[in-house]
Amino acid sequence: MKRLHTALITALAALALVSSAAAQAPPDPYTPEAREARLAWFKQAKYGLFIHWGLYAIPAGEWKGKRCLGLGEWIMNRCKVPVKEYELLTRQWNPTKFNADAWVQMAQDAGMKYIVITSKHHDGFALFGSKASRYNVVDATPFKRDILKELAAACQKHGMPLGFYYSQSQDWHEPGGAGNDWDFGPDESPDRKEMKDYEGYLRGKAEPQVRELLTGYGPVALIWFDTPRMMTKERAQRFADILRTLQPKTLIDGRLGAAGDYVSTGDNVIPSGVQKNYWEVPATTNHTWGYRKDDTDWKSPGEIAFKLVDIVSKGGNYLLNVGPMSDGIIPQAAQDNLRSVGRWLKVNGEAVYGAGASPFGEEMGEPSAKGTKDLRGQALVLPHNEWRVTTQPGKLYFTFFQEPRAPFVLPEMKNAIKRVYQLADGKAVEVKEENGRHVLNIERPILDPMATVVVVEIEGDKVEW
């Protein structure tokens, strides 16, 4: 009896030891469950502000009196500006009107739920104080202020998640970085042998800087890697390990080269239907990321609202960009348009934040019956842009971008309908049954000609057929 007792106690003690060890060991960040947990806030957020800001805001699309076509932040590459010449821009970096609080306030007014800013773009210049490279805002400019420190503090104050874009592979300032063939020759030989000290660059600048971002700026919501040239699985994994060790909750976008938490689509590319994997589209408000003084072709509030709801109805996030000017001001037209969408979201946000994808799909478009190809050579889908559906448990949000025909026939479903009303003012919408189909009689003129949301409350959490 005594022996049994002792054995029992020993076993219990061993069990306690094992379970306490399990409680202390950090959870494995590479499991699907850990990824889901990391993505929770992101799926709720849906709409973020991308900020491309750097030395390229000074030339703003023009070098020595000549226009350089293309993206503003690519000017060094497009006009083949030698490092020694481009570096001189640091002397002019003095954005006296930069106000981190004002930027975060604008994002909040716009209804955006996270911010991602370029900590270092392809030109290699860091917007933060860095021990790994003196080519940064604190050590190389008269301004001396750490932009990211100020932005991180403002975001902390407003409860706004902050992430950093980091160009891990292209760095046109460094002889070992990828991309600068005008100063340093090609990255690879014709038979794809690496020609530069790329490893030296990764270990000497990129990896240390990513570590700095994850240790000096509070909680980092995500790191937005980009253009993974020569990013082997092994190299990408080194970056992932830095993140998972220093801040296991930080998300990795889809352009590291491996181990991303979600898919990043092509720039401005919205898929034609619901996607299986979680995704985000990076997109511009005009036609450039970094500021260009000649690009004033802004997307209207209605276009932005449509894209946002379209994206949510397909199960993704919208990361919408602004390119502040060299004085630190975000172009006024972009601010105005974003704030207009923000006012719409104040009233209609339930249809967007945390909302699920459409259970239908026919509203999104149909493949060209003639088999036409689009500009990218893909099968052309002819979009239908009249309305979109987003969901919350027990609710379907029909967002109309054009005044619907009365009566509007709801897509087929088995669920009984409990209640139908306009989201903005709660006013009931008349619903009838005709030949087994639900028919809405939506009031005309339509409540909000930009986008009117009609909520259909259904029996049960999800649509059944």
321 DSSP β-pair partners:
50, 284
Among 71, 100, 140, 341, binds ligand JFZ (CB under 6 A): 71
Q: Whole-number minimum distance, CB 272 to ligand JFZ, in Å?
A: 16
Q: Whole-number minimum distance, CB 267 to ligand JFZ, in Å?
A: 4
Residue pair 111/63 in contact (Cβ under 8 Å)? The answer is no
326 to 345: interface string for ligand JFZ, x by CB under 6 A: --------------------
Distance, CA of 69 to chain centre: 25
Beta-carbon contacts of 25 under 8 Å, excluding residues fewer than 6 positions away, are: none
208 DSSP β-pair partners:
none
Taking CB under 6 A as the binding criterion, the range among 70-78, 86-94, 332-340, 381-389 that sits at the site for ligand JFZ is: 70-78
Q: Rounded CA gap, 168 and 174, in Å?
A: 12
Pick between residue 114 and residue 344 the one whose CB is nearest to ligand JFZ.
114
Among 200, 219, 266, 367, binds ligand JFZ (CB under 6 A): 266
Tokens standing for residue 331? 């172009």
282 lies in the binding site for ligand JFZ (CB under 6 A): yes
108 lies in the binding site for ligand JFZ (CB under 6 A): no
Can you spell out the DSSP letters for 20-56?
Answer: HHHHHSPPPTTSHHHHHHHHHHHHHH-EEEEE--SGG
227 lies in the binding site for ligand JFZ (CB under 6 A): yes
Tokens standing for residue 303? 């276009």
Distance, CA of 220 to chain centre: 14
Taking CB under 6 A as the binding criterion, the range among 39-47, 69-77, 100-108, 291-299 that sits at the site for ligand JFZ is: 69-77
Name the pairing type of β-strands 437-441 and 162-166: unpaired
Q: Is 22 exposed, middle or buried (0-12, 13-18, 19+ CB in 10 A)?
A: exposed
Q: Rounded CA gap, 178 and 174, in Å?
A: 8
Pick between residue 172 and residue 298 the one whose CB is nearest to ligand JFZ.
172
CB atoms within 10 A of CB 171: 27
Peptide bond before residue 82 is cis, with ω within 30 degrees of 0: no
Q: How far apart are the first and last CA of the chain?
A: 63
Q: Whole-number minimum distance, CB 282 to ligand JFZ, in Å?
A: 5
271 lies in the binding site for ligand JFZ (CB under 6 A): no
Among 146, 226, 253, 295, binds ligand JFZ (CB under 6 A): 226
Can you spell out the DSSP letters for 125-164?
Answer: -BSS--SS-S-BHHHHSSS---HHHHHHHHHHHHT--EEE
Q: Whole-number minimum distance, CB 56 to ligand JFZ, in Å?
A: 9
178 lies in the binding site for ligand JFZ (CB under 6 A): no
Q: Whole-number minimum distance, CB 129 to ligand JFZ, in Å?
A: 22
146 lies in the binding site for ligand JFZ (CB under 6 A): no
Tokens standing for residue 1? 């009896």
297 lies in the binding site for ligand JFZ (CB under 6 A): no
Pick between residue 226 and residue 295 the one whose CB is nearest to ligand JFZ.
226
219 lies in the binding site for ligand JFZ (CB under 6 A): no
Pick between residue 212 and residue 226 the one whose CB is nearest to ligand JFZ.
226
Q: Is 407 exposed, middle or buried (0-12, 13-18, 19+ CB in 10 A)?
A: middle
Can you spell out the DSSP letters for 2-13?
Answer: HHHHHHHHHHHH
Q: Whole-number minimum distance, CB 153 to ligand JFZ, in Å?
A: 25
Q: Whole-number minimum distance, CB 112 to ligand JFZ, in Å?
A: 16
Alpha helices, DSSP H, located in 323-377: 332-348
Q: Whole-number minimum distance, CB 127 to ligand JFZ, in Å?
A: 14
Q: Whole-number minimum distance, CB 174 to ligand JFZ, in Å?
A: 17
What are the backbone angles phi and psi of residue 24, rounded to the nearest 5°? -85, -30
Q: Rounded CA gap, 324 and 53, in Å?
A: 6
Q: Whole-number minimum distance, CB 74 to ligand JFZ, in Å?
A: 6
Taking CB under 6 A as the binding criterion, the range among 66-74, 338-346, 352-360, 364-372 that sits at the site for ligand JFZ is: 66-74
289 lies in the binding site for ligand JFZ (CB under 6 A): yes
423 lies in the binding site for ligand JFZ (CB under 6 A): no
- Which residue type sits at 328? G
261 lies in the binding site for ligand JFZ (CB under 6 A): no
177 lies in the binding site for ligand JFZ (CB under 6 A): no
123 lies in the binding site for ligand JFZ (CB under 6 A): no
- Which residue type sits at 374? D
392 lies in the binding site for ligand JFZ (CB under 6 A): no
Tokens 């660059």 locate to 201
What number of chain residues touch ligand JFZ (CB under 6 A)? 9
The residues in 73-92 that bind ligand JFZ, with binding defined as CB under 6 A, are 73-74
Pick between residue 71 and residue 454 the one whose CB is nearest to ligand JFZ.
71
Residues that bind ligand JFZ (CB under 6 A): 71, 73-74, 226-227, 266-267, 282, 289
